[in-house]
Structure 1
Amino acid sequence: MNMMISRRVAMTGLAAATAALPVRAQVFPPAGYGTPAGTAPFPPGVFQERRRRLMEKLGGGVALLFGAGKPSGISAVESPFTQNADFAWLTGIVDEPDAVLVLAPGERNVREYLFLPSRDPEVERWEIERLPLGAELERRTGFQRVQRASAVGSVVTALASQNKELHFLGPVVGPDSPMPKVLEMYGKVAQRMPGVKITDSSKILTGMRLVKDPAELALIRRALAATARGHMAGMRGVKPGMSERQLKDIIEAGFREGGGEGLAYSSIVGSGRNAASLHYVGGGGAIRDGDLILVDAAASVGGYATDITRTFPANGRFNARQRASYDLVLAAQEAAASRLKAGVYYYDLAEAAKEVFRKAGRIDQFYHGLGHQVGLDVHDAWDQSLPIPAGAVMTIEPGLYSQVDNEGIRIEDMYLVTQTGAQRMSTAIPRTADEVERFMAGRS
């Protein structure tokens, strides 16, 4: 009895002592520390509005979207992480691997969830501190509800039991590709929840991403300014005798000096015969006097890509045969660009360019697509079966490739589609043969 009383007294005393201590709030890293750091490249409200518009188009049901997974490998140094573009466009969460988005348009209360992996303090000692759940995490991300990823299955199942429709937002993959994680989860839920159907809504998100808003266009224009700086540095700095890799270093340094934050893709610099390989992966070739040099390289800003190709002579002057081929490629580009406006189809643009090559008897030397959309991905989301809308940003990039003639020529520019035509966005970079020669003649 005395022992029991003593124990109660001791416990009561411990409780009283604990209650007397000051209450400590949840400890968060200060601003600028920890991950997620916030949303990028825009504040949370931009992404909240995008999700609102998507949910309005979905109308009801449940939509699940997985972010990119953590890079895998055995190296002690992690590979750079790149977020899934659909996920980044809807959430602005670009620094958090293995995140998951769930939308429930038909729900009255909680309509959007962000799921993040569980914390691991031991891993964080090696990598980066991660935020605990709480108000600060919701403030940084702009999400109504943030939970741990272990709860995704149960939340989706509970929502599906009420809404009975699961929206597939993509990605659409071929039959030989691995099954998308979202379809795997939908299949499991549907097998356990009678009456639930899976709806293909992938074209909705693709269509939304296709039309760029003013803030997106501003970032693309900044990236184009940096890209122009790099291409012109290459034209100015090239000298016969240097290597392709040395020229690439000059170009990429120009991107950085012009405000570029990264490369939109791995730069291609091919001289002479090497330029006839469409996606040339070398770099050790020597640049010879009389060679044409094909440079397909571009900067990115705020995660938004650009894509520009220029072809120019190593010595600053096209010979007669080179100029004739170059002018033919330019004519094909202009034939397609003259038809580009809201409502046209990609096929018709491609045929306009091909007709130029057919008439010249050189159609067999043009064997790739005419162009593509550009945005968060350098080859951005796009359904070619639909007409191109106003506000889309796309490339037109015809080319001719001949290993027999030891040359490849491609001219690639970016265009903003309008209701009545298209604006060439990359006007700062010399493009015609005369413009290229005049610019290169001014080299010191």
Structure 2
Amino acid sequence: MTRRYMHHRAELQMSPRRLPSKCLRARTVLLAAVVAAQVLHAGVHFTPDEYRSRRDALRARIDTVGLAVLASAETALRSGDVSYPYRQSSDLLYLAGITRPGTFLVVLGSPIDLGGRNVRDLLFIPPYSEMRARITGEAMTLQEATTVSGADTVLENGGLGAFLAKILAVKRVLYHSAFQPPFVVDWLNNRILFIERDAEKMLKEKFPGLAVKPVSPLVASLRVVKSHNEVAAVEEAARVTCDGVMALLRAAHPGVFEYELQAVLESTFRREGAQRTGFPSIIGSGPNSTRVHYDANTRRTQKGDVIVVDIGAEVDGYTADVTRTFPVDGHFTAAQRKLYTIVLEAQKAAIAAVKPGVHIRAVDKAGRDVIDRAGFKKYLTHFLSHSVGLDVHDPGLTGMGAGDSLRAGMVITIEPGIYIPAGADDVDLSYWDTGIRIEDDVLVTPDGCRVLTTGVPKEAEEIESLVGNSD
């Protein structure tokens, strides 16, 4: 950051009352420039028009006498006065692009008059705090929120309660985002307090005749098929993820700890502009390779191990999801190579089946049949695909609002695997403690599909040649 930029930011954080009147116009111009720069850095793929279009699509699914209210994710307390790094609710991020906590979005089924303006949606955000802006840089003005989201009206969140009390008196249907969590455990009295259920009950008592419904299925139905810009975001996340895997492969050698490989991977993500991982990184070596969602990453690798890395960088809210399996010493054993070849053949068969109109279970079957014929049916313990996007397990397929048939614009994973733990009594012990999974992200196109994660190879010989090779 240049000194000039820092100087302008300091000026912009001053209250307008402290600026001479002749500076107000300059302040407004500078504010717009800084916000544009922030949006370009944090959300290069998305514009206010796209967020407006998404809200219009949601509005079309809401009763004209209804409204939807979506709350931001809560800040999660780690301990004392320290919180976990904040990540916005995916639905709110999808509809408004605002990354700050304490934000609420209201989408109206039909417009209302508000101060002489025709308003279709409102955004409520925390009051701007100059002190918070100086300390953390995380404060957002009403104008900044408007610039990012394109909302018709942006107000301070202290006014949300009064607004809802007034609008619910005339609206008949309320769609709302889920409470997180929907219940809490009162362990002192050995009971469960159902916060969401009780909140809905109170609303219905206060506004007789009001129907209260979840908004998540409606938003999920919009998120299934990705826009051109969303695909670009996933592709960028895929590029960064593949670069991370390549760096990890080159750093691998017997004796390295799983967490050391994780550090190589995730430092590459951050260096290349990813904001975070899309989910906890899985670096499973030896016996841990057979544990599908192992993410402790504490074991020291040994010669002869295979390592399963299942990881994803998150860029502009969108994550990739890639898995590669490799021998830590650069050479598959005969048993490991046999399993790897079977899994790779299964993945290729499943990818070949991907096209619009195909039932996702037919894709799963195409890959599963390869593993079944090879005699390892019982060691494939999961479905071969899921949607990916703002969440690593995005809405779609058998999830909310999508059905089971593929459509052009969907982004899915293809991830067959074989996992044979020690002690398996129907295979040779040379297969024990061997897990193999290969996963790629695949865009469904009008005439078939396109693999988005080609930045890291998956043929056995290519994988072997990369391990420990820093050239």
**TM-score, normalised via structure 1 length:** 0.83
Once the two structures are TM-superposed, the CA of residue 336 in structure 1 deviates from its matched residue by 2.1
SS in structure 2 at match of 1:211: coil
Uncovered stretches (5+) of structure 1, i.e. residues with no partner: 1-20
Residue 143 of structure 1: aligned partner: 151
Once the two structures are TM-superposed, the CA of residue 93 in structure 1 deviates from its matched residue by 0.2
Q: 1:17-32 counterparts in 2 under 5 A?
A: 30=31
Query: Equivalents in 1 of 2:48, 2:173: separation in Å?
Result: 28
Residue 90 of structure 1: which of 90, 95, 106 is its match?
A: 95
Residue 152 of structure 1: aligned partner: 160
Once the two structures are TM-superposed, the CA of residue 159 in structure 1 deviates from its matched residue by 2.4
Once the two structures are TM-superposed, the CA of residue 438 in structure 1 deviates from its matched residue by 4.3
Residue 124 of structure 2: aligned partner: 115
Is 1:222 aligned with 2:232?
no
Once the two structures are TM-superposed, the CA of residue 431 in structure 1 deviates from its matched residue by 0.9
Is 1:430 aligned with 2:457?
yes
Q: 1:53-132 counterparts in 2 under 5 A?
A: 53-60=57-64, 61-94=66-99, 96-108=100-112, 109-118=118-127, 126-128=135-137, 130-131=139-140
Q: Is the 8 A contact 1:219 1:304 kept in 2?
A: yes
Once the two structures are TM-superposed, the CA of residue 371 in structure 1 deviates from its matched residue by 2.3
Once the two structures are TM-superposed, the CA of residue 289 in structure 1 deviates from its matched residue by 2.0
Q: 1:99 to 1:268 in 2, by over 3 A?
A: same
Query: Equivalents in 1 of 2:197, 2:92: separation in Å?
Result: 16
Q: Is the 8 A contact 1:65 1:169 kept in 2?
A: yes
Q: Give the number of aligned pairs.
A: 422
Q: 1:114 to 1:77 in 2, by over 3 A?
A: same
Residue 392 of structure 1: aligned partner: 410
Residue 320 of structure 1: aligned partner: 334
Once the two structures are TM-superposed, the CA of residue 271 in structure 1 deviates from its matched residue by 1.6
Residue 43 of structure 2: aligned partner: 40
Q: Which amino acid aligns with 1:427?
A: T
Q: 1:323-402 counterparts in 2 under 5 A?
A: 323-382=337-396, 384=398, 386=403, 387-402=405-420
- Which deviations, in whole Å up to 9, do the C-alpha atoms of 1:127-184 show, x marking residues without a partner? 4463555x56534542222223233233233323333122346589999999997765
- Which deviations, in whole Å up to 9, do the C-alpha atoms of 1:67-97 show, x marking residues without a partner? 1123335444443110000000000001x11
Q: Is the 8 A contact 2:183 2:194 kept in 1?
A: no
Query: Equivalents in 2 of 1:335, 1:434: separation in Å?
Result: 20
**Rg (Cα) greater in structure:** 1
Q: Is the 8 A contact 2:321 2:440 kept in 1?
A: yes
Q: 1:204 to 1:180 in 2, by over 3 A?
A: farther
Q: 1:270 to 1:130 in 2, by over 3 A?
A: closer
Query: Equivalents in 2 of 1:129, 1:337: separation in Å?
Result: 43
Q: Is the 8 A contact 2:385 2:413 kept in 1?
A: yes
Residue 264 of structure 1: which of 278, 291, 297 is its match?
A: 278
Q: Is the 8 A contact 2:240 2:272 kept in 1?
A: yes
Greater strand share, structure number: 2
Once the two structures are TM-superposed, the CA of residue 233 in structure 1 deviates from its matched residue by 1.8
Let me know the Cα RMSD of the aligned residues. 3.4
Q: Is the 8 A contact 1:157 1:189 kept in 2?
A: no
Percent identity of equivalent pairs: 31
Q: Is the 8 A contact 2:184 2:195 kept in 1?
A: no
Once the two structures are TM-superposed, the CA of residue 389 in structure 1 deviates from its matched residue by 1.9
Q: 1:236-247 counterparts in 2 under 5 A?
A: 236-247=250-261
Query: Equivalents in 1 of 2:455, 2:347: separation in Å?
Result: 17
Q: Is the 8 A contact 1:33 1:129 kept in 2?
A: no
Q: 1:128 to 1:187 in 2, by over 3 A?
A: farther
| Stretch deviating more after TM superposition (61-70 or 363-372) | 363-372
